[in-house]
């Protein structure tokens, strides 16, 4: 009798803890994101993110639960969240807080035999746990962490046919895929804003540049696959990031200049900065000026001067009287300006037109990490912007000041300026500047920021001056530094003397002259020198000229378009297409991790998912809904990987049981599950400590 008592008590123990693994669900969506600024500064947004995760976990566990109940498997707990019970409801007991007994009623043997709990008590405790990082269904006779906890009860999971157990295990994954499909259909019927696959910038010497892609080109198909709606920029990034190394990708695009569609084969190249295979293209921009609040200008000092003329929130509608409708058109107008002024016509957010004259300047192309020389020489550096209330402002520095000396460094370049400032926190240094044609010497105080020196200036090459700064060659520096040039001419050879010079009054004019005369010998007339400086405009010197572009220091909003259809059948097809595409992308991401084309630093866990979800919410509610669809797809794929603890690992164990005709030994199963727990726990710690936390606190 005592033996039976022990057996009855044993059947009331927690039998199964099956957790929804969310720590790896963001393998793919983070590739779409260039989106981190601040973390959780709005209670409503945090609530939206938590609710979104709760919905995904609920549907995943609901799949397991419904399948188990349909096969009459006893389910003691249905939990949203993990850890101790916060609150919940159970038939016959009602709603309650804190921990409660679970399992079937326990019969006490003896003269006064009675039920400890009513026979009408429901078998399942529907609960919410303290930690909202997953969920689980606890089924009788199946414990992921201890496979030795078996049960002879007919309602036990282990006593059901293998095919029924396979359905129960895979039901959560199926439910997540169904949910993702439904989310995508709803999203595309209502409309979701996406960045289209329009080229917003081309990195220097990148595969895209070598293939002839230019700003404004619109990619419409990848490897001849043209999706319904329009191709998104995220699809373009994914196509390169998840490609097989060395394998060309066919891109079909509409040229920015118009004309017939073109196709190019591009082999993506590994990017050191991102850790992905990349085409070398930047996301598209719109013609709408970013709304910048006055307090935010300290983070955009380079944009401060132009924002005194252009109102944030305005939209550019014309340049020099020519109507424009895309950033690609603005880009081409900038390149044709030669550094001359442009008159922008803008429409304010209030609907009023106004004009502003702005001046483009030379900017290194994306991917160029240094300031390229012009014919082997550099101009002086000038202060382009000053952070409000910074040490620079308090020391009397002003935008436009040309730096002649900093400390003991004469004609410093930007690298020398940054190094001296960073290495001298809370120090006073002498600085000689040229302002309005007159030289001044100031004593400036270098402040401190994060333990390093901080002055609060942005410095750019003084391209509108005519003074030589530093040289990128070994010749001519000592005699030219500080001197001015007045003209340039093409000569037959290095020994020739020009009959006449074309006037060049600043570096922009010298750059334009050199760009128009490739593979020539150029004579530069310098004030105070009898003989001109002779330069061969070829090889690396001419290549350096191609590393520039003209641009405005104007912050613009990203370009977005609404992915939307009025047809329910089209929305269904788009939903299926996106579901299949993201399943494929997730597996390709895992493959990329194994072959080294995707960096482990791109993995993110619960905190990373939350941070990205929070940032995406600012792009609109429907984008957050769509993003949750992506997470649902990835939750399904990751959970069905053949790893212990995950649904896929349990499914493999059932396959082995079917093949062998009997389960693996219980001790072997226990060892496999413990190994899986250690693996998943290790990955969780890695992505949290080395990926999620740095991402949150460094942005």
For 78-133, how does the pLDDT look when each residue is reduced to its tens digit (9 = 90+)? Answer: 998 888 999 999 988 889 999 888 877 655 555 555 444 455 788 899 999 987 76
Q: Is the pLDDT of residue 474 over 80?
A: no
Task: Place 21 in a pLDDT band, splitting at 50, 70 and 90.
Answer: very low
pLDDT digits 0-9 by tens, 123-160: 899 999 987 767 888 888 766 555 556 667 888 888 89
More confident position, 551 or 628: 551
Residue whose structure tokens are 């740095």: 694
285-359 — its CATH code?
2.30.42.10
For 378-423, the pLDDT digits (tens) are 899 999 888 888 899 999 999 889 999 999 988 888 889 999 999 9
Give the SS3 label for residue 233: helix
Predicted TM-score (pTM) of the model is 0.76
Angstrom distance (rounded) from CA 130 to CA 81 = 6
Long-range contact pairs involving 400-405 (C-beta distance under 8 Å, separation at least 24) = 400/435, 401/433, 401/434, 401/435, 402/433, 402/434, 402/435, 402/462, 402/465, 402/467, 403/431, 403/432, 403/433, 403/459, 404/380, 404/432, 404/433, 404/434, 404/439, 404/482, 405/430, 405/431, 405/432
Contacts of 648 (CB under 8 A, 6+ apart): 639, 640, 641, 642
**Closest to 433 measured CA to CA, from 442, 424, 421:** 442
In angstroms, the CA 570 to CA 187 distance is 12
Joined together, the tokens standing for residue 231 give 């191709």
Q: What is the pLDDT of residue 32?
A: 47
Same fold, 201-284 and 285-359: yes
Q: Indicate whether 598 pLDDT > 80.
A: no
**Separation CA 523–CA 135 (nearest Å):** 75
**How many helices, marked H, and strands, marked E, lie in the chain?**
17, 35
User: Which of 496, 414, 488 has the alpha carbon at shortest distance from 455?
Assistant: 414
- In the chain, the percentage of residues whose pLDDT exceeds 70 is 80
Distance CA 535, CA 527 (A): 17
The tens digit of pLDDT for each residue in 271-320 reads 877 777 889 999 999 999 988 776 666 667 677 778 888 998 999 999 99
**Among 173, 266, 251, which Cα is nearest to 218's?**
251
Give dist(CA 150, CA 475) in Å, integer.
Answer: 84
**Span 606-612, mean pLDDT?**
50
Element (H, E) at 447: strand 438-449
The alpha-helical segments, DSSP class H, found in 153-292 are: 162-190, 207-211, 233-241
Could you tell me if 553 and 289 are in contact, meaning their C-beta atoms sit under 8 angstroms apart? no
Grouping H, G, I as helix, E, B as strand and the rest as coil, residue 52 is helix
Strands (E), 227-386: 249-254, 262-266, 269-270, 277-278, 281-282, 285-289, 315-319, 322-323, 342-347, 353-358, 361-364, 377-379, 381-386
Coil, strand or helix at 188: helix
> Angle 85-88-89 (CA atoms, 0-180°, nearest 5)?
145
Q: Is residue 467's pLDDT more than 80?
A: yes
Q: What pLDDT score does 37 carry?
A: 36
From 86-95, 448-457, 530-539, 570-579, the region with the lowest mean pLDDT: 570-579
CB distance 322 to 334 below 8 Å: no
Where do the H-state alpha helices sit in 232-323? 233-241
**Domain 377-542 is in which class?**
mainly beta
Condensed to tens digits (0 to 9), the pLDDT of residues 683-698 reads 666 666 655 555 545 5
Could you tell me if 403 and 381 are in contact, meaning their C-beta atoms sit under 8 angstroms apart? Answer: yes
User: 605 phi and psi, to 5 degrees?
Assistant: -110, -150
Q: How far apart are CA 428 and CA 424, in angstroms?
A: 8
Token pair of 194 as six digits: 């996406």
pLDDT of residue 497: 81
Q: Residue 610, Cβ neighbours under 10 Å: how many?
A: 24
- The yes-or-no verdict on residue 450 having pLDDT over 60 is yes
Tokens representing 651?
A: 């499914």
Q: Specify the residue for token string 């803890």.
A: 17
Please give the Cα distance from 433 to 446 (Å, whole number): 16
Among 131, 125, 114, 110, CA closest to 53: 131
Q: Domain boundaries in the chain?
A: 2-188+567-697, 201-284, 285-359, 377-542
CATH level 3 topology of 201-284: Pdz3 Domain (2.30.42)
């Amino acid at each position: 009798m005592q033996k039976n008592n022990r057996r009855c008590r044993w059947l009331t123990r927690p039998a199964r803890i099956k957790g929804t693994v969310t720590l790896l669900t963001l393998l793919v969506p983070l590739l779409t994101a260039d989106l981190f600024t601040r973390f959780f500064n709005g209670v409503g947004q945090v609530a939206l993110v938590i609710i979104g995760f709760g919905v995904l976990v609920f549907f995943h566990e609901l799949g397991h639960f419904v399948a188990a109940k349909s096969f009459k498997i006893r389910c003691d707990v249905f939990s949203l969240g993990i850890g101790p019970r916060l609150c919940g409801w159970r038939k016959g007991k009602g709603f309650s807080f804190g921990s409660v007994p679970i399992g079937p009623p326990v019969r006490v043997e003896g003269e006064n035999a009675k039920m400890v709990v009513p026979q009408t008590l429901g078998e399942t405790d529907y609960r919410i746990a303290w930690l909202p990082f997953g969920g689980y269904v606890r089924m009788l006779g199946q414990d992921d962490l201890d496979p030795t906890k078996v049960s002879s009860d007919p309602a036990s999971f282990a006593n059901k046919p293998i095919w029924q157990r396979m359905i129960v295990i895979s039901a959560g994954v199926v439910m997540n895929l169904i949910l993702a499909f439904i989310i995508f259909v709803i999203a595309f019927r209502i409309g979701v804003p996406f960045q289209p696959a329009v080229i917003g910038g081309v990195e220097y010497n990148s595969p895209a540049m070598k293939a002839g892609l230019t700003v404004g080109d619109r990619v419409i198909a990848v490897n001849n696959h043209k999706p319904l709606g329009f191709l998104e920029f995220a699809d373009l990034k994914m196509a390169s990031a998840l490609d097989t190394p060395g394998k060309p990708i066919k891109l079909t695009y509409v040229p920015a200049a118009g004309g017939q569609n073109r196709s190019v084969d591009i082999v993506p190249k590994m990017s050191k900065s991102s850790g992905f295979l990349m085409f070398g293209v930047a996301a598209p921009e719109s013609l709408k000026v970013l709304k910048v609040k006055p307090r935010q200008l300290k983070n955009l000092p380079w944009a401060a001067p132009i924002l005194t003329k252009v109102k944030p929130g305005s939209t550019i509608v014309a340049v020099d009287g020519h109507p424009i409708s895309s950033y690609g058109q603005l880009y081409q107008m900038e390149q044709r300006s030669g550094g001359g002024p442009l008159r922008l016509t803008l429409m304010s957010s209030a609907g009023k037109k106004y004009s502003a004259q702005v001046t483009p300047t030379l900017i290194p192309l994306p991917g160029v990490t240094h300031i390229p020389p012009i014919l082997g020489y550099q101009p002086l550096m000038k202060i382009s912007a000053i952070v409000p209330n910074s040490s620079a402002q308090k020391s009397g520095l002003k935008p436009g000041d040309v730096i002649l000396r900093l400390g003991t460094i004469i004609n410093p370049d930007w690298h020398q300026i940054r190094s001296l400032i960073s290495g001298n926190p809370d120090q006073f240094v002498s600085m000689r500047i040229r302002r309005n044609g007159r030289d001044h010497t100031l004593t400036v105080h270098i402040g401190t920021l994060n333990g390093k020196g901080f002055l609060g200036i942005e410095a750019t090459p003084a391209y509108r001056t005519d003074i030589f700064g530093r040289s990128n060659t070994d010749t001519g520096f000592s005699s030219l530094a500080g001197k001015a040039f007045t003209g340039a001419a093409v000569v037959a050879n290095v020994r020739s003397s020009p009959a006449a010079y074309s006037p060049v009054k600043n570096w922009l004019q010298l750059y334009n002259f050199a760009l128009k005369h490739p593979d020539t010998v150029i004579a530069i007339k310098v004030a105070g020198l009898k003989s001109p400086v002779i330069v061969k405009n070829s090889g690396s010197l001419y290549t350096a000229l191609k590393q520039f572009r003209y641009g405005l220091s104007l912050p613009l909003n990203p370009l977005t378009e609404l992915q939307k259809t009025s047809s329910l059948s089209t929305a269904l097809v788009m939903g299926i297409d996106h579901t299949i595409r993201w399943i494929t992308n997730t597996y390709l991401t895992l493959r990329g991790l194994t072959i080294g084309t995707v960096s482990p630093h791109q993995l993110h866990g619960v905190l990373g998912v939350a941070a990205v979800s929070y940032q995406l919410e600012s792009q609109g509610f429907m984008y957050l809904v769509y993003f949750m669809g992506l997470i649902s797809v990835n939750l399904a794929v990751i959970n069905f990987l053949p790893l212990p603890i995950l649904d896929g690992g349990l499914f493999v164990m059932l396959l082995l049981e079917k093949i062998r005709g009997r389960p693996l030994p219980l001790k072997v199963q226990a060892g496999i599950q413990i190994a899986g727990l250690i693996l998943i726990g290790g990955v969780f710690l890695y992505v949290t400590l080395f990926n999620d936390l740095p991402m949150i606190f460094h942005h």
